[in-house]
Structures are given as C-alpha cells and as structure tokens.
Amino acid sequence: MPPRLLLSIRPLLRSPANFSLLPPFLLPCLNPSTTHRHASILSSLSDNPLAYRKKIRRGRGPSSGKGKTSGRGHKGQKQHGKVPRGFQGGQTPLEIVHGTRGFVNVFSVDMQPLNLSRIQSWIDQGRIDPSRPITIKELSDSNCVGKIKDGVKLLADGAEGLRTPINIIISRASKSAIAAVEKIGGSVMTRFYTPFAIQRILKGTTDPINSLRSERIMMQEEEEDEDEQEEDDNDEDVDASRNADSEALVGDATATSEASTIASAVAAVQPGRFGFRYRLPDPTSRKDIEYYRDPIHRGYLSHLVTEGQTPSLFFKIPSAGKGLVGKRTAAKKALEENRIW
C-alpha cells in the first residue's frame, strides 16, 4: 500500500511555528500533487528489453515449433542420446589412421597487407595527407586498412602508379616497396609495435613514432648530457670564497638550472608527447631486435649498427679475439714456467 504520510503530517502543518520541526526528507510530501508514488514500485522493476533470452519450451504442441520430437528429428543416436564431439560412428578416427601433419608456428605474426596502389588512391581522394608522416593511426582513421592485429606490411602492388612522395612509418615493408617509394623521393621506416601498443596508438594515448631507443630521442639525450656536463664544469669553477648571500643566490640559480635541465630531459624523452599517457615499447626478443637493426629493412634501430658490423647480436669484430688469444697463450706459458714437476 502507498505510504500514509500526509495524514500524519497535516496536523503539524497547521501552525507555522511547527513548520521548522519537519525533517528535510519530508519536504517533498508538502505538495499533494507529487505524492502519487506507490510503495509497490519494486514489483514493477524489470531488466532492459532483450537483456536475456526466453527459455525454449519443448514438447508442448506443434504450434510452438518445438513440439512432438522437440527439434531432435526422427530416430537415430542424435535423438535417443548424445553424440560425443569428434565421434565418427565407431570407426577408427581419421586423425589416428593417417596421423596429423604440419605444425602451428607460434612465432608467426598476423600482418595487415597494404599496397602502394591503395595509398595513392587514398591520396588522390584527399583521405590521406602526404605532406605529413603516415603512421598506422592515419591509415586506420582513414579506413585505408582494416583491423590491425600485429602490424601493417607495405607491399609493392601498384608501384608503377605511385606518383606522390610519402614518408611512411610502418611495421614491415618489402624490398620492392621500399625501392618504389624511395625512387620518387619518399622514405620508409619500419618500427616495432605490440598488439597492446597498436590499440593505444589507435586510441591516441601513445606516440606512434618515437620511443626511448629512437635515433631522434637518443641524439637529444646525448645533447642534454653534454649540456649538463658543461653546466657542471662551470659550477666547479665558481669561487668558494663567496659570502652567504651570494651562495644562496647561486644555489637558487643552480636549482633553477637543474629544474630546467630535468624538464628539458623529459622533453627530450617525450618531445611534444605530454598529451600521451603511455610510452611506446621497444623490442626485447633477439629476432625482433635484429630485424629492426637491419638497414635493408629500414629499421628504426639501424643507427645502433656501427660501420663494419652486422645487425646480428652475435656479431664480433674479427680482430677482437686476437688479443684474447695472445693473453691466453702468455698465461699458459707463465703457468708452464712456474711448474715444479
């Protein structure tokens, strides 16, 4: 039944002196036009439409569509009982007779293909701006590629129709596609992405180009280190015989310079990326590191390979082992000379 609050409150409302004695939660009851809410509201609560599926009633007549045989058909094992998954009628399973062939490559990646002809078509339609770097975010926002799982690979289909120089940053690229882009004055850079990083890039929370091991970031960090070293050298030349006031001023100036140095170092690590929440990861496995260290693939880690080296992490300079051999031979001779017997 609805609450009978008005009957008990009306005697209190007759005198203005008693109006202030009403609790605040009873004030909505003063207006009789707003007191039509019933206490049985809990009985009318229901879930959203189509939030659950109605149970199918089987064997309740032909009008339901699931009567008589209840949707199981006539006779046979499937009507009378249950059939195990993979059961082949009692015969020896074919996978046992013939065996299984092949294997599942756990190192395979699912790359979304992207042809040069499609990029040129999107540029002609005005859906991609060739004057700016083209990343996977621009490709996804313009619907140039579909769902990206592990990355995007650039292919050379339609290379003869590519007319606009582009600067593209992508997961992988074929040799013919790289040659076609660079032939007309463009550039290709391949860089490492994880599936989680791709999701964050598409949401706009991660920088799609720069990471801590990028060439631009590392060069800026080296410049900041040189500047810090110069500032430290200048601080060491300050005369120690200054008075307390001048030392305090110098200390404030040093603190200010250190704060600005830290801010500039952070800006070097994240140039213009203060709006990004997450950092772009770098590869950790040997296979990925060697791929993006290879200049042939236009990897973004190719600046780490010095002259005379290869992208392999197991590369050793041929002349580096000669010194070790000489040391070992000298140590062996010394042991032979010191032998008693």
Q: Which residues pair with 173 in a beta bridge?
A: 154
Rounding to the nearest 10 degrees, give the CA dihedral for residues 87, 92, 94, 97: 160
Question: 254-299, pLDDT tens digit by residue?
Answer: 545 544 544 454 444 444 444 688 999 999 999 999 999 999 999 9
Residue 103 makes CB contacts below 8 A (sequence gap 6+) with none
The Cα 272–Cα 171 span in angstroms is 22
The token pair at 26 is 């009873």
Under DSSP, is residue 65 helix (H, G, I), strand (E, B) or coil? coil
Question: 78-133, pLDDT tens digit by residue?
Answer: 899 999 988 998 999 998 999 988 999 988 999 999 999 999 999 999 999 999 99
pLDDT for the residue numbered 331: 75
The token pair at 134 is 């083209």
* pTM score of the predicted model: 0.57
As to burial, measured by CB atoms within 10 angstroms (0-12 exposed, 13-18 middle, 19+ buried), residue 7 is exposed
Beta strands at 151-155 and 111-115: parallel, antiparallel or unpaired = parallel
Mean pLDDT calculated for residue range 155-174: 94
The Cα 118–Cα 134 span in angstroms is 13
* The total number of residues written for the chain in this structure: 341
Question: 45-79, pLDDT tens digit by residue?
Answer: 888 888 888 889 999 999 989 999 999 999 998 89
Question: 19-40, pLDDT tens digit by residue?
Answer: 456 677 666 666 655 555 556 7
HSE at residue 43, side-chain half, CA atoms within 13 A, is 4
- Residue linked to tokens 């950092």: 279
pLDDT for the residue numbered 326: 62
The Cα 266–Cα 221 span in angstroms is 9
The Cα 210–Cα 268 span in angstroms is 11
- Where b means 16+ CB within 10 Å and e means fewer, 196-219 reads ebbebbbeeebbbbbbebbeebee
DSSP string, 309-323: --S-TT---TTHHHH
